[in-house]
């Protein structure tokens, strides 16, 4: 029997994927009004290039790139700009959005399709991926073209696609992998060409045998991963598949690796092969708080409320609404927030599903230490953060925490460890910035 690949530490939260994993993706039309965020990704928001009253067409640029870590933004629909405003967003408190009244979604490609992408140069492929606004679809939303442009002297020899989808409840990547295997495979070939890498692989947890089989049939190298949280975190995926460790404070490219989510690969295929900017994404809507969980293909800018209505509406008990899964997802105070390119799921938890909201004292059991995949001592960092001892928290490696939530999950006292560690990170970064200034 083949040994399943994995990483040290981690935890086994209830997967809860059965709620949506068998639900085929349903494409839903864009609603009457959409709000397209100009900050879809990590980095600087794009600069609006439309104004109230302008007619826009599907795929038209409505925000221009604003710096290296930035991307253009496109209209997912044909319609009229109703205004530019500041609106609540799922991944940050608020940000600038372009409000568009939808008229239709028809239209051809925005760019020349390149079905012959193998005849295109590396630079042409990377430029197209940038112009199409492709960013990481797995949550972090980093501009994809930047990851394909390593600085001089950094040699990339490994491309890994991330199909682990280890967050409980989320099944969007799983459905994508079995329903659109060819898109993911094409995107993988394009990414491999852009990086000059041979023999790329996709990592998939062994709870998705149909996806493993689909990629195997498509001639793609599959690395089967043990089901464990956070197997889909970049550093843990790299460790499991290659045995290499990203140095503290370093990046995967420091050890010759680039990781891209399977959804990103599909978006790359649309951008290059079909000439389509990044306009839609698959979103899982799940949790005991919605009546009919499922997976939906929605236009960027669609309000969460429209997707929840597609999922049969709220049940009688909704204690918490999350963008993303229960481990790393962000709590939302309104369902008026729009889908962004990084919205992998909307999860409505009942009070039974939501974790306790009160914390107890640390009983020094060290479970958080055993579980931390980054080999940190979460309980100690948290104590130092509580006492505002930022230098001590820094010495304990607080900045290496990736906020995966594993420590909080295993803590028998329900300590708000991630909250304390994130606070320490904010303070340490602010202190370093002011010292540099
Ligand atoms: S300390 Fe950070 S990296 Fe370690 S388990 Fe907790 S959240 Fe994850
Ligand atoms: S798991 Fe919780 S109780 Fe145990 S040492 Fe860590 S913080 Fe303390």
Residues 35 and 46 placed together within one structural domain of the fold:
yes
- Name the residue of 328, 329, 378, 414 whose CB sits within 8 Å of the most ligand 1 atoms, as the mutation to test its pocket: 378
The per-residue pLDDT for range 426-435, each reduced to its tens digit, is 999 999 888 8
Instruction: Find the mean pLDDT for residues 413-420.
Output: 92
Of 346, 288, 354, 286, the C-alpha closest to 315 is: 288
- Rounded Cα–Cα distance for residues 177 and 263 (Å): 8
pLDDT at 138 over 90: no
Of 169, 172, 176, the C-alpha closest to 347 is: 169
Residues 55 and 166 placed together within one structural domain of the fold:
no
Q: What is the pLDDT of residue 356?
A: 64
Q: What is the DSSP letter of 336?
A: T
Residues 244 and 165 placed together within one structural domain of the fold:
yes
Phi-psi region of 16 (alpha: psi -120 to 50; beta: other; left: phi over 0): left
Measured in angstroms, how far is the CA atom of residue 432 from the centroid of ligand 2? 29
Is residue 355, in this structure, part of any structural domain at all? no
Residues 90 and 54 placed together within one structural domain of the fold:
yes
Contacts of 115 (CB under 8 A, 6+ apart): 273
pLDDT at 30 over 50: yes
Is residue 212, in this structure, part of any structural domain at all? yes
Closest-CA residue, ligand 2 atom 7, reads 379
Instruction: Find the mean pLDDT for residues 23-41.
Output: 95
Residues 34 and 74 placed together within one structural domain of the fold:
yes
Q: Percent of the chain having pLDDT more than 90?
A: 85
Residues 237 and 165 placed together within one structural domain of the fold:
yes
Is residue 10, in this structure, part of any structural domain at all? no
Q: What is the pLDDT of residue 91?
A: 87
The per-residue pLDDT for range 50-90, each reduced to its tens digit, is 999 999 999 999 999 998 899 999 999 999 999 999 999 99
Residues 226 and 212 placed together within one structural domain of the fold:
yes
Give the total number of structural domains in the chain: 3
Instruction: Find the mean pLDDT for residues 109-129.
Output: 96
Task: Give just the sign of the alpha carbon dihedral 234, 236, 240, 243.
Answer: positive
Is residue 143, in this structure, part of any structural domain at all? yes
Q: How confident is the model at residue 2 (pLDDT cuts 50, 70, 90)?
A: low
Residues 130 and 266 placed together within one structural domain of the fold:
yes
Kind of pairing, strands 330-331 and 47-48?
unpaired
Q: Give the end of a domain, one of 216, 248, 272.
A: 272
Residues 310 and 224 placed together within one structural domain of the fold:
no
pLDDT at 1 over 50: no
For residue 408, the ligand 1 atom closest to its alpha carbon is 6
Q: How confident is the model at residue 3 (pLDDT cuts 50, 70, 90)?
A: low
Q: What is the pLDDT of residue 134?
A: 97
| Average confidence score pLDDT of the chain | 94
Q: Give the end of a domain, one of 243, 272, 301.
A: 272
Residues 125 and 233 placed together within one structural domain of the fold:
yes
Is residue 5, in this structure, part of any structural domain at all? no
CATH of the domain at 66: 3.10.20.600
- Cβ–Cβ < 8 Å for 144, 269: no
Q: How confident is the model at residue 357 (pLDDT cuts 50, 70, 90)?
A: low
| Ligand minimally distant from the alpha carbon of residue 386 | 2
Q: Does 194 contact ligand 2 (Cβ within 6 A)? A: no
pLDDT at 153 over 90: no
The full DSSP string for 250-276 is --GGGGTEEEEEHHHHHHHHHHHTS--
Residues 119 and 105 placed together within one structural domain of the fold:
no
Residues 431 and 416 placed together within one structural domain of the fold:
yes
pLDDT at 177 over 70: yes
- Name the residue of 381, 396, 410, 413 whose CB sits within 8 Å of the most ligand 2 atoms, as the mutation to test its pocket: 413
Closest-CA residue, ligand 1 atom 5, reads 372
Q: What is the pLDDT of residue 37?
A: 96
CATH of the domain at 157: 3.40.50.11540
Which domain covers residue 416, as residue numbers?
A: 367-436
By the 10 Å C-beta count (0-12 exposed, 13-18 middle, 19+ buried), 80 is classed as middle
Instruction: Find the mean pLDDT for residues 248-262.
Output: 92
Which residues does residue 88 pair with via DSSP β-bridges, in sequence order? 94
């Amino acid at each position: 029997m083949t040994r399943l690949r994995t990483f040290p530490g981690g935890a086994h939260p209830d997967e809860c994927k059965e709620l949506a994993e068998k639900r085929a993706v349903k494409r839903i039309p864009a609603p009457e009004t959409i709000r397209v965020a100009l900050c879809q990704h990590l980095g600087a928001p794009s600069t609006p290039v439309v104004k109230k009253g302008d007619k826009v067409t599907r795929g038209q640029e409505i925000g221009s790139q604003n710096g290296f870590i930035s991307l253009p933004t496109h209209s997912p629909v044909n319609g009229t700009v109703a205004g530019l405003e500041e609106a609540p967003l799922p991944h940050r408190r608020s940000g600038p959005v372009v409000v568009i009244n939808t008229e239709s979604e028809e239209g051809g490609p925005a760019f020349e399709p390149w079905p012959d992408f193998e005849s295109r140069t590396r630079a042409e492929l990377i430029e197209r991926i940038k112009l199409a606004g492709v960013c990481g679809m797995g949550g972090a939303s980093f501009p994809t073209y930047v990851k394909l442009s390593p600085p001089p002297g950094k040699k990339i020899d490994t491309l890994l696609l991330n199909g682990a989808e280890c967050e409980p409840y989320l099944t969007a990547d799983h459905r994508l992998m079995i329903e659109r295997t060819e898109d993911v495979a094409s995107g993988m070939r394009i990414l491999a060409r852009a990086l000059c890498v041979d023999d790329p692989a996709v990592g998939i947890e062994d709870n998705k045998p149909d996806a493993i089989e689909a990629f195997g049939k498509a001639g793609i190298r599959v690395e089967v991963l043990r089901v464990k949280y956070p197997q889909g975190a970049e550093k843990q995926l790299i460790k499991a598949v290659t045995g290499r460790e990203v140095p503290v404070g370093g990046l995967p490219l420091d050890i010759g690796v680039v990781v891209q989510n399977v959804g990103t690969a599909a978006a790359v295929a649309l951008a290059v092969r079909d000439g389509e900017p990044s306009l839609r994404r698959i979103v899982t809507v799940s949790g005991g708080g919605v009546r009919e969980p499922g997976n939906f293909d929605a236009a960027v800018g669609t309000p969460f409320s429209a997707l929840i209505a597609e999922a049969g509406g709220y049940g009688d008990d909704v204690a918490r609404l999350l963008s993303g899964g229960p481990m790393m997802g962000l709590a939302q105070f309104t369902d008026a927030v729009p889908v962004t390119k990084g919205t992998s799921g909307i999860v409505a938890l009942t009070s039974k599903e939501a974790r306790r909201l009160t914390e107890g004292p640390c009983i020094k059991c060290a479970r958080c230490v055993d579980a931390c995949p980054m080999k940190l001592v979460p309980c100690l960092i948290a104590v130092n953060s509580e006492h505002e001892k930022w230098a001590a928290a820094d010495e304990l490696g607080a900045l290496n925490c990736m906020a995966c939530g594993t420590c909080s999950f295993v803590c028998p006292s329900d300590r708000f460890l991630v909250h304390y560690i994130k606070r320490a990170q904010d303070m340490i970064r602010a202190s370093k910035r002011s010292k540099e200034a």
